[in-house]
Amino acid sequence: MINDIQNSLIKKESIFGPDNYKPLPVVLSKAKGVWAWDVNEKKYLDMMSGYSAVSHGHAHPELLRVFHEQSSKLSLTSRAFYTDTLGPYLETITKMSGFEMCLPMNSGAEAVETAIKSSRRWAYRTKKVEPGKAEIIVADGNFHGRTTTIISFSTDENSRDDFGPHTPGFLAVKYGCSESIEAAINENTAAVLIEPIQGEAGIVVPPAEYLPEVREICTKHNVLMILDEIQSGLGRTGKLFAYQHSNIQPDGLILGKALGGGFMPVSCFLSSEEVLHWMNPGSHGSTFGGNPLAAAIAKRSLELLEEDGLIENSKLMGDYFKESLLNMNSKIIKEIRGKGLWLGVEIDPDLISGKDLSKMCLDHGILCKETHETTIRFAPPLVITKEELDWGLDKIKEVFTKITG
């Protein structure tokens, strides 16, 4: 229930900030591990993880230690100087990922913009595409961020409406259909930019042959295959990267969210020396990108994925989570999509709306959120235990039972 304290804080946000989000009616004040508490000390199981940004759990003690230690020494210098944390971080992430170079940024959208610029410059300087003609193929239902260039190739009308003129040079084709990608390729095509699993679209998993076919097509036509794994990467799907389920290697990889360990925005674009060596001084940069604090946290967050067994736990708990939901045999569930601890539960809108279901889960101590009205996303921190997950499953079952009787 909303009391006077929560209501006052909610009103402040609505008065002094635009209504560009649809938050659930709860005011959170602290969190630890997989749990969060509101201003009234009510406890919730976080099944959102900040859209995969809190994969290590809230206030991970080792990351908290690194945060305090590094911030007390050196947080920011800009890239005008070398620092003692950036090189070790770049070495760690390139070795773990198998890419030759990493260009560090802050937000996921910045990393996507970096991938776009890098792909275009490679197309002009290496592939010799005619100046100003480079094109990038994207997929229907994509979500890559909110900048004006990125929303220019969104197929969501609300993301695009009245934000034009839109940036040219992008072509959207059907997601999950490799034939549509090959048909769209021409002499000006620089890259194919897709999500291996579409997050905002509702955890949409493409056919098993999709990514291998796209890889083959891109190689055949000398086109860069760029994957956005801002949400799906870093253990979320039970593999270090979602594309590894398909046994391929893309030409470029975009990471963010969990890279910052839940402490700060950290992102990057990974690719080959052939692609990234064109990003010379003055061509691209960021005051905060690759700052000492971000580099220290990102390096440790990567190491902890393996040290804490988070990737394997995502697979085991994800399989158990999915199986347990299916075994509820609820009339509410129409379909469950996803891999690892990243599930999209398609619900029957004739029984309840996604928004109302999210509110009911909230009342029962579960933090989750709907997307596209009929899909509930469940993505708890990768540190979740079976006991904690069982607690959540019991609450979800209570909600389903209340709805169906």
- Rounded average pLDDT over 184-198: 98
Q: What is the CATH number of the domain that holds 38?
A: 3.90.1150.10
Cα 26 from Cα 31, distance rounded (Å): 14
Alpha-carbon 197 to chain mean position: 10
Asked if the peptide bond before residue 165 counts as cis, ω within 30 degrees of 0, the response is yes
For the chain, the helix, strand and coil percentages under 3-state DSSP, each to the nearest 5: 40, 20, 45
Q: State whether 41 and 179 are in the same domain.
A: no
Q: State whether 149 and 178 are in the same domain.
A: yes
Q: State whether 285 and 351 are in the same domain.
A: no
pLDDT at 231 over 90: yes
CB within 8 A of 228, min separation 6: which ones?
112, 115, 144, 193, 194, 195, 254
CB within 8 A of 90, min separation 6: which ones?
101, 102, 104, 295
Q: State whether 105 and 247 are in the same domain.
A: yes
Number of domains the chain is built from: 2
Tokens found for residue 357? 């279901």
- Rounded average pLDDT over 130-139: 98
Tokens found for residue 148? 């004006």
Q: State whether 234 and 295 are in the same domain.
A: yes
In the listed set 307, 324, 357, which residue is the last one of a domain according to the structure? 307
- pLDDT averaged over the chain? 97
Q: State whether 286 and 319 are in the same domain.
A: no
Q: State whether 313 and 302 are in the same domain.
A: no
Show which residues are catalytic.
Answer: 143, 228, 257
In the listed set 241, 274, 307, which residue is the last one of a domain according to the structure? 307
Give the per-residue pLDDT at 177.
98
Range of the domain at 147: 61-307
Per-residue pLDDT tens for 347-394? 999 999 999 999 999 999 999 999 989 999 999 999 999 999 999 999
Give the per-residue pLDDT at 232.
98
Give the per-residue pLDDT at 2.
67
